[in-house]
Structure 1
């Protein structure tokens, strides 16, 4: 939930790092709170598909260029410093120091009223990893800039797209047994991304005499291994046995993470190096300046549930394509993926996409789509999918016997063999959610649209599968050879049937388990 500042709203806010994980989620909340937002990015094209791009002023520039920073700071009241060079090659510490000095000098010269910086939780004493050492150095430079600065220090941020969370997600999803470095026993105080965003917005309104760092974290202090198994429970997986192996150095552990997850090694190494330390709050001073969010801080399990696209209250689960993207809302939309997130972020998704051109009119093509299933069948390899229906019944699923309520009309929520109609835009789109027993979540989408030259129509068919754990991945790859036959045949026969519209048939009292299609 976005909290609108209670004092006067600054005219202009400058956000650096708007193409990053936190920045991309902060900008729409600032807009919602009534701020005028300016962003400074090196590559504006990365913002092309985000929903708020047309609502902000976009400046192209590099933070290591003092002149570009000075220009970006003109007329700015609050500056958010949300960039880091984690995973960058070369001397990234020197690059981060140069950027911090340019921002500190530019903000001071432009008369900026407040800098808000997001750094990392770290031990008060002792040797730090290069990543944490650099985060600490940047905070110190900004605090000494002469511009009132709040340096928020957070540990593992829980939300889809956060590199730390994605490492937990992918490791737990893939491995039924986890050999892990000894740092799985270290203590971590994770924080939900929605709570990080709350603190960032509230920090902009602190009085000018506040110039200091604050630790922020969620209500739970857990060992890293407990975080993995907490994720497993929320994802519907069995808890994973974890063996802490002292021989796994940070470098070796990073190679292992790179091998079994899509996270690049250049990002895995600094994260793993930082996890060698306990990452917990040293004090709760933040409570004396910014009260906890309404309803309290988000617990770890709740944060994971939101990151997975679920709501515990009422057991509502969002579908794969109707989650709110890039906006703040009570259902935790800030935890979902954004177009600017890296390709490896978010839930692993397998898809099978088919497209066919047909001379049939869109209305005739739609008539075939809406009459699919039940006695009309699924236009593809009936015997194989009858077997799939019988197998589903054997393991306690619904099988194919439900048929359909009406021979040629569907409505949202209708049962359709072992599918459920999740969405229907009559004349254009039919989306079905699988209710057969599969190790994951599956959808089948069929779409009819007029051809670009108004001669006939285009049929699009997409199967989408979210695997659950290693079993889900193995399941998809096991049935992949059949997709070329089943889904291709389905697309071919549906478009062929549309050329000559089929007559409706009355549903049988007990539809036979023939002609079904499933994942």
Structure 2
């Protein structure tokens, strides 16, 4: 339900019904900010407990008029929009970002906070990460300050990258680990990322780039094995040579039941080193994060097993994608099985999603 119009909000969150946006809004409200939630389908707002506390604004990013109206009276705008699929998604994302930057300038917005991805050193970027960087470039045509928060893999129930790992490990008793999974990454918990995003709202001076990475640098191979251990799953891991990404995409989509276009976008990034530049790490460029306590890899993975746990930002919620979730859940500090594994489906005792 849309809240009656009152004093114009100072913060706009685009992609408000998405994974990060829906969790960022409660943080901003708790900090005392007036918030406007922009979404293409405002009817979706009723699924969130914060619906009555924000001004829900209709915004299709392809419609310049709707973008302009959504930005009216806004001081800071969080740009959380990006595509992972569809023909020409990169050019579409560039176009949307350029339109948003133009309308934000006209509306007198002072700052845009953009959530992008960590940029690996050297080498060719995947389509997914290339698009994230291109969007950042387009947003910098905005006349005000642009703070690009570049994050690595986000750990939390409902996060697409986390769900891909969760579902592969839960549903395969024998897990192949291609050589490219030796790439080094620095995953960040959703709780830690939200703290960085909130701090980016009024960081002074506004940093151009903030690398948001957690405290533990590991390989993808180690991440997969750590999840299996934290979830209490005994798995056999087999190291295999480097194989073309396309060989893995279709089996991974079938096993995980994650939409194929999403898997196509994510799999190639498994071979990229995604670690922060030390001088750009949030702890170095945003002074207000000095007291922020990073969440360890194991703690983030364990807490991500929770479901519908009030006050737990890592927990899967009813508003997350229908395909999200897994076999192992953490309930009252105990791991329980729900019968969603691949072998359970073969036995006819498991769920199909």
Please give the TM-score of this superposition, normalised by the length of structure 2.
0.89
- 2:117 and 2:150 in contact (8 A); partners too: yes
Residues 147 and 211 (structure 1 numbering): CA distance in 2 closer, same or farther, change over 3 Å? Answer: farther
Which residue of 272, 275, 297 corresponds with 2:270?
A: 275
Q: 1:234 to 1:349 in 2, by over 3 A?
A: closer
Distance 2:121 2:143 in 1: 24
Larger Rg belongs to: 1
Q: CA-to-partner distance for each residue in 1:85-135, whole Å, 9 max, x for gaps? A: 112x12111111111111111111111111100000122433211111110
Shift of 1:349: 8.5
For residues 409-458 of structure 1, the C-alpha deviation after alignment (integer angstroms, 9 at most, x for no partner) is xxxxxxxxxxxxx9xxxxxxxxxx9x9xxxx73xxxxxxxxxxxxxxxxx
Matches within 5 A, 1:278-357: 278-285=273-280, 286-291=282-287, 292=289, 294=291, 296-309=293-306, 323-324=309-310, 329=311, 333-348=312-327
Runs of 4+ displaced beyond 4 Å:
468-471
Q: Deviations over 1:221-259 (max 9, x none)?
A: 111111011111111112541323323x21221111112
Cα deviation, 1:2-46, whole Å, max 9, x if unaligned, reads xxxxxxxx9521010111110111011111111111111111222
Partner of 1:67: 65
Q: Is the 8 A contact 2:170 2:327 kept in 1?
A: no
SS at 1:153's partner residue? strand
Whole-angstrom CA distance in 2 between matches of 1:281 and 1:94: 27
Do structure 1's residue 121 and structure 2's residue 118 form an aligned pair? yes
Question: Could you list the runs of 5+ residues in structure 2 that have no partner in the other structure?
Answer: 1-7
Tell me, what secondary structure is at the counterpart of 1:334? coil
Distance 1:56 1:479, change over 3 A: closer
**Which residue number corresponds to residue 466 of structure 1?**
338
Aligned residues: 340
Query: Is residue 140 of structure 1 aligned with residue 137 of structure 2?
Result: yes
Asked if structure 2 preserves the Cα contact closer than 8 Å seen for 1:235 and 1:468, the reply is no
Q: Deviations over 1:296-351 (max 9, x none)?
A: 21111110011012xxxxxxxxxx66x11xxxx4xxx111123321111123489x
Contact kept, 8 Å, 1:152 with 1:216, in 2: the verdict is yes
Describe the shift of the 1:287–1:294 C-alpha distance in structure 2 as closer, same or farther (beyond 3 A). Answer: closer
Does the 8 Å contact 2:183/2:270 carry over to 1? yes
Which of 261, 266, 284 is 2:256 aligned to? 261
* Contact 2:158–2:320 (Cα < 8 Å) also in 1: yes
Q: Distance in 1 between matches of 2:187 and 2:350?
A: 38
> Residues 185, 223 of structure 1: CA spacing in aligned structure 2 closer, same or farther, 3 A cutoff?
same
2: CA distance between counterparts of 1:155 and 1:244? 25
Change (3 A) 1:245 1:255: farther
1:147-199 residue CA offsets vs partner (Å, 9 max, x unmatched): 10110101110000001000110111111211233222111110000011000
- In 2: Cα distance, 1:11 partner to 1:64 partner: 22
CA distance in structure 1 between the partners assigned to 2:12 and 2:251 by the alignment: 39
- The corresponding residue for 1:85 is 83
Distance 1:127 1:468, change over 3 A: same
**8 Å contact 2:170–2:326 — kept in the other structure?**
no
Residues of 2 paired with 1:107 and 1:213: CA distance? 19
| Distance in 2 of aligned mates of 1:297 and 1:284 | 17
1:334-413 correspondence to structure 2 within 5 Å? 334-348=313-327
Q: Which residue pairs with 2:348 in the alignment?
A: 477
The answer (yes or no) to whether the contact 2:245–2:268 under 8 Å persists in 1 is yes
CA offsets 1:376-414 (integer angstroms, 9 cap, x no match): xxxxxxxxxxxxxxxxxxxxxxxxxxxxxxxxxxxxxxx
- Contact 2:279–2:285 (8 Å) recurs in 1: no
Instruction: Find the counterpart in structure 1 of residue 92 from structure 2.
Output: 95
Q: Distance in 2 between matches of 1:169 and 1:204?
A: 32
Partner of 1:244: 240
| Kept after mapping to 2: 8 A contact 1:190/1:220 | yes
Instruction: Tell me how large the CA RMSD over aligned residues is.
Output: 2.5
Give yes or no for contact 1:152–1:214 (8 Å, CA) kept in 2: yes
Q: Give the Cα–Cα distance (whole angstroms) in 1 for the partners of residues 271 and 36 of structure 2.
A: 37
* SS of 2:275 mapped into structure 1: coil
Q: Secondary structure of the equivalent of 1:233?
A: helix
Q: Which consecutive residues of structure 1, in runs of 5 or more, have no partner in the other structure?
A: 1-9, 310-319, 351-421, 423-432, 442-464, 481-519
Q: Give the structure, 1 or 2, with the largest relative contact order (CA under 8 Å, sep 6 or more).
A: 2
